[in-house]
Amino acid sequence: MYRNSQEFLKTRLKDEHFNKLNKICNPYVEKFLAEHISLCNPADIFICDGSNEDINYIKEQAIITGEEKKLKISGHTVHFDGYDDQARDKENTKFLVPKDIYFDPNLNKIDREEGLREIKSIMKDIMQGHTMYILFFCLGPTNSIFSIPCIQITDSPYVAHSEILLYRQGYKEFQNMKNQESFFKFVHSEGELENGVSKNIDKRRIYIDLEEDIVYSANTQYGGNTIGLKKLAMRLAIKRGSKEGWLTEHMFLMGVLGPNNRKTYFTGAFPSLCGKTSTSMLPGEKIVGDDISYLRVKNDKVYAVNVEKGMFGIVGGIKEKDAPILWKVLNTPNEIIFSNILVTEDNLPFWEGKGEVPEKGFNYSGEWYKGKKDKQGKEIPPSHKNARFTLSLEILPNVDENLHNPDGVEVGGIIYGGRDSDTSVPVEESFDWTHGIITKGASLESETTAATLGKVGVRKFNPMSNLDFLSISIGKYIENNLKFGEKAKKLPKIFSVNYFLKDENGNFLNDKADKSVWIKWMELRCHNDVDALKIPTGYIPLYEDLKKLFKHILDKEYKEEDYVKQFTLRIPENLARIDRIINIYKTKVPDTPEILFKVLTDQKRRLEDARAKYGDYVSPFKFIS
């Protein structure tokens, strides 16, 4: 047959594309591509070298094939996924694990040999009649200790275009790698199409091979299943970071401006619908990234980078008043891909919260009109609740100048936040790194909303907001975070925030704009510019400091009674949470580090002592010595 991969590739690639590959001159790249070209058997192959010419060709193909359609505003396009292909397929996202390897029972897995047989059977000749696009990217800034080169294979120009917006080009990185094999690999096919969308949803599979650093994705178009470098790559990076001693976290990265033009960088982990994007996009601050960060220790300090250079965000709920920067960007000429929104009769995107709902339009269900129902009799909303926008961060006016800094940025603070109606105060600092990782990160819970489960207030355990993306055991993941803190002499402070605290009548105790005050207080604490009040669960702001900040930032009078309501220590609820968390770790996480139980038990004892002295609900002023 063929003596080597290069000989095979020469028969399948046109000269110009073979020459592009030859400039990389890496036998591991050639072997990987040869195997998967042979497996998927495309009609044509296009290799993107990152040039403007190649990128523009892919964008044109997205329009020509109908995977994207142009909208009225210049640069805006829309993509529709199939009606039953609107979200991450958790059930069919599985790790390929050898039989003799222990793997966390909390994680979805399949025997590696069985999984490879199945996925390769599904992908055999799956690209017949399709063009295969081969793209080279870099996770993290290029030419950096944070860099991870990646290859994406896909037959969807929409997926290729999305990744061009979201990730840094990596063709030159591969040229500099030579004979190294330390790159991530992603193989995606949308499969057979019917009316322009993936037909064989019953054969939708997303399989992750940690041994070979390969992710397979078949018979799906939705970005969360197909944009390999996003959450799929995150699983590969968590495994690699665990071996090498650095962290892959589900965290935004932002610069917060302090006194005298000082800037302090924060990372933050929040579950969905808890204020993650709105925090990273706070007016007056700088955004580095909204979703995923790599953290490393260098020179005895913690540094971070944004893994991406773009944003794949939920568009629903974006309003001019609440998100002025994103609102303006999404309504002016920019290169943006909208997905699964409603296209109005005048060819503009409409999403939930944009304004008055049109009478009719076109969406992922086809022609749409008010009151339209699906086969099950359920009313179809104009824009899907998971409708998205994809854009490059460079078009944002508040993008930070260090977005592409190969050295990363020094992290001053780490924030954990969840949806919590009755327990945590709006903002609190941990006592130290270990206390923060355990009581703020590893104990993170978030309440569901009626929109997601039809039942309000169900608390979902989600350590570090990363549970869905772990590729190692929960216990090992927590241990990695704890040990990471032992490597640096100067550690970031760790905070928790809660934007969803309510009073006894169910009314929110915080305004949406208040988060600007909490973040400024955290910035001051990172430099010890203000004192704090010690309570059994951490450090909270002093009233006088918040009073000044509310006046300075929001021009708002901050009443003492509001401070008391917001920062009253709710002891019964805090004790109940500790009991819930301890029970989860004791019953479901067999490799939990013992220090976790000690730290939580110590916190329980402090709370019980405070209850014995002050009662169940304690005003912050009671703790002033």
Percent helix, percent strand, percent coil in the chain, to nearest 5:
35, 25, 40
Taking the C-alpha atoms of residue 35 and residue 296, their distance in angstroms, rounded to an integer, is 34
CA distances from 339 to 149, 373, 454, 609 (A): 27, 20, 24, 53
The predicted pLDDT at position 247 comes to 98
Beta-strand relationship, 93-97 and 205-209: parallel
The predicted pLDDT at position 456 comes to 57
The predicted pLDDT at position 452 comes to 41
Taking the C-alpha atoms of residue 538 and residue 603, their distance in angstroms, rounded to an integer, is 9
Taking the C-alpha atoms of residue 238 and residue 211, their distance in angstroms, rounded to an integer, is 13
What is the per-residue pLDDT across 46-58, written as a single tens digit (0 to 9) for each?
A: 999 999 999 999 9
The predicted pLDDT at position 2 comes to 62
Position 94, amino acid: K
The predicted pLDDT at position 457 comes to 66
Does 274 participate in catalysis according to the annotation?
yes
Taking the C-alpha atoms of residue 437 and residue 565, their distance in angstroms, rounded to an integer, is 27
Taking the C-alpha atoms of residue 227 and residue 233, their distance in angstroms, rounded to an integer, is 9
Reported in sequence order, the residue ranges of 261-339 that DSSP labels E, i.e. its strands, are: 263-269, 286-289, 293-298, 301-306, 310-314, 336-339
Superfamily of domain 312-395: Phosphoenolpyruvate Carboxykinase, domain 2 (2.170.8.10)
The predicted pLDDT at position 178 comes to 74
What is the per-residue pLDDT across 531-560, written as a single tens digit (0 to 9) for each?
A: 999 999 999 999 999 999 999 999 999 999
The predicted pLDDT at position 106 comes to 83
Q: What is the DSSP string of 503-543?
A: -TTS-BSS-GGGHHHHHHHHHHHHTT-S-EEEETTEEEE-H
Nearest to 184 by CA among 250, 228, 123: 228
- Which among 40, 138, 274, 526 is annotated as catalytic? 274
User: Locate tokens 């009314």: which residue?
Assistant: 507
Hey, which CATH number is domain 248-309+403-623, 3.90.228.20, 1.10.10.350, 1.10.340.30, 3.30.230.10?
3.90.228.20
| Residue 447 parent element (H or E) | strand 445-447
Taking the C-alpha atoms of residue 227 and residue 221, their distance in angstroms, rounded to an integer, is 9
| Residue 206 parent element (H or E) | strand 205-209
**What are the phi and psi torsion angles at 189 (to 5°)?**
-140, 135
Torsional sign, CA 210, 211, 212, 216: negative
Superfamily of domain 5-68+88-244: Phosphoenolpyruvate Carboxykinase, domain 1 (3.40.449.10)
Position 475, amino acid: G
Regions of the chain short of the pLDDT cut 50: 450-454
State pTM to two decimals: 0.96
Report helix, strand or coil for 496: strand
Q: Parse the chain into domains and list their residue ranges.
A: 5-68+88-244, 248-309+403-623, 312-395
